[in-house]
Amino acid sequence: MEEVMSAELVENLVDFCENRARVYALLSRCYEKELDTAFAAELAEAARVESDDPALAEGFAALQTDLAGCDDGQLELLAVVFDRVFFGMGPRSAQKAFPYESVYTSEGGLMMQDAYSEVLRLYRAAGFAKDPGFTEPEDHLAVELAFMVRLCERAVEALRAGD
């Protein structure tokens, strides 16, 4: 016998999934490209983060305060740091944060290996395609987070449809 969820539970789950989608979308954008003037202003002016985790709320408030006072020179410095951290060339042992899953899951630390093939398969099965304007491979963290946004959206659609 199929158990029916209460309307209150469905709405709570919808809220949860929508909030989670917003977090994944924010993180996806953060890893997609460097901070620009428009994104810095959007973050600085965003509503205060409500969270059960005080450290998260305090951290976001500090970020907003810092970004509200950023000038173009400081934003350019942040962009340079972003590029060095995520796109600086060098061996896997270099102090870089490679944003590609396959670098961490392949034996040789190479891009476009098994993890890349696996996410392509999962994306196709789910009817998901990365933004064609984003030229990085599909196992890039920004794309994987965008996929999580889509999964959250699908969960909301299913919940609202009673599925």
pLDDT of 2 reads 62
Cβ–Cβ < 8 Å for 78, 34: yes
Give residue-wise pLDDT tens across range 59-94.
Answer: 888 888 888 888 999 999 988 888 888 876 555 556
pLDDT of 110 reads 80
Residues of the chain with pLDDT under 70: 1-2, 88-95
pLDDT of 54 reads 87
pLDDT of 96 reads 75
Reported pTM: 0.85
pLDDT of 86 reads 84
Domain ranges of the chain: 7-90+97-160
pLDDT of 47 reads 73
pLDDT of 94 reads 60
Helix (H, G, I), strand (E, B) or coil at 140: strand
